[in-house]
A and B are shown apart, each in its own frame.
Chain A
Amino acid sequence: MLTIVCPHCGARDQTEFRAGGEADRPRPADPFALTDAEWADFLFMRGNVMGLQRELWVHAAGCGKWFSLTRDTRTHRFAP
């Protein structure tokens, strides 16, 4: 079980959180200007990084806060 540090509540068990996937995927500024390929890239393509990844979590069974942190996807260790 991972121990995840919520910025608001501190260290809690993984079971209180839900994973939100890759961070830093901003919505297209002008959606109407996007080509099909650009839409595919935004909606479906992922970095799927083996190594350090920026990712989102939500403290679902706690304060409800969304936040991002960096984790090594090979070891599950969170970067300080």
Chain B
Amino acid sequence: MRRYSVLALLRESLTGHRGWERAWEDATPKSEYDVVIIGGGGHGLATAYYLAGQHGITNIAVLEKGWIGGGNTGRNTTIVRSNYLWDESARLYDHAVKLWEGLTDDLNYNVMFSQRGVLNLAHTLGDVREGQRRVNALQLNGVDSEWLDTAAVKRFCPPLDVGAHARYPVLGGTLQRRAGTARHDAVAWGYARAASARGVDIIQNCEVTGLVRDGARVTAIDTSRGRIRAGKVGMAVAGHSSVLADMAGFRLPVESHTLQALVSEPIKPVLDCVVMSNAVHVYVSQSDKGELVIGAGIDEYLSYAQRGSFPVIEHQMGALLALFPSFSRLRMLRSWGGTVDISPDASPIIGRTPIDNLYINCGWGTGGFKATPGSGHVFAHTIARGEPHPLAAPFALDRFTSGRLIDEHGAAAVAH
């Protein structure tokens, strides 16, 4: 892999940029791998990268049914934060934020991680109490977090309407300054390039159609490009997790729903932070291209269609205009949906399955982009060692039997 640098850019500019090599190898499947990762989203690609880089396993394939990053990784609103209430979540998500902070250098690929700050608004006395409690819990866990009163909110985010006449009065907010956004495609491409350089085969247009079992082990994987034998298998297929689990003969506590997002026409910089409101239910940031990126909650009914319904969009636009009346003249450019895997406690599932050599990473639902580096890192460890990484251990599938849930619904109650 030739390194990207200012020098390389200058050199290439002299020769009309004809010397750049492919960022990563489009591999054809071999007949056998030590580890096969199913799903070429950010989580699967990151897992392969850390397996190859930190655990000395290099005979690895990532199987992706479409194109890498074409699932939720390429469809999300890119908010990265770690202000989760419970100890287990705060540790896991903050592990990810720390990796984000060095990711561009680590991958030699600009993932455009922008720590512009995420502001969570409080509109009721209940919101205020919950927000302040969360700030305290986060500080105890060593995660940066502060409480802003109404005037400080206005200073931090001037376009926000905090006036007394506002439909939803702003009584304050929590701020995580280390939080922000990153470039979603770059995360998939950067991990793919770095993994490929370490010998990982990235195989696109390769849909897994069945798992061949010998007792409690998977021995091979049937794909649209033939049968592939595997020593260990890790699945990171987000909204399709139940479909894969069904092939392996077990059920999962997740439901697949559509989560939609939309962007406005590009405008000059107006918003230099991320604003989220759980109560009014919308979140918004401005992309580097100038578009407002707007999201909210899932469609209520189960769906694999990657297509949502209009009432949800109408609701989130109403919420946006209540917070930012000045956006009322903006036209919306396009909307889209992704299939997200919602777990009962809004926390991910990472670890072993009833099948000995099959490992699972799913249940990230509406908020797994932020965790991409951390998720790949702990999942790689879990697969390589055959036992959970300490940060992943509380998130095992058996918590639904033991009753030890990590109930982040109460803590966040909003999609992001």
Contacts and interface: CB of A to CB of B under 8 A. Distances in A.
Interface of A: 1-2, 14-15, 18-19, 21-22, 36-37, 39-41, 43-50, 53, 55, 71, 73-76
Given A50-B243, A73-B304, A74-B304, A45 B309 contact: no
A41 B300 contact: no
Interface residues of B, number: 24
Given A46-B253, A46-B255, A19 B300 contact: yes
Contacts, number: 70
26 contacts: A1-B309, A15-B311, A18-B300, A19-B301, A19-B302, A36-B401, A36-B402, A37-B401, A40-B401, A43-B344, A43-B400, A45-B253, A46-B253, A47-B242, A48-B251, A48-B252, A48-B254, A49-B242, A49-B302, A50-B243, A53-B302, A55-B301, A73-B256, A73-B302, A74-B304, A76-B307
Nearest to B405: A44
Contact of A48 (B255, B301, B307, B311): B255
Contacts of A48: 242, 251-252, 254-256, 302
B305 interface: yes
B95 interface: no
Contacts of B304: 50, 73-74
Interface in B387-409: 400-403
A37 B401 CA distance: 5
B242 A73 contact: no
Contact of B302 (A15, A21, A36, A39): A21
A63 B403 CA distance: 37
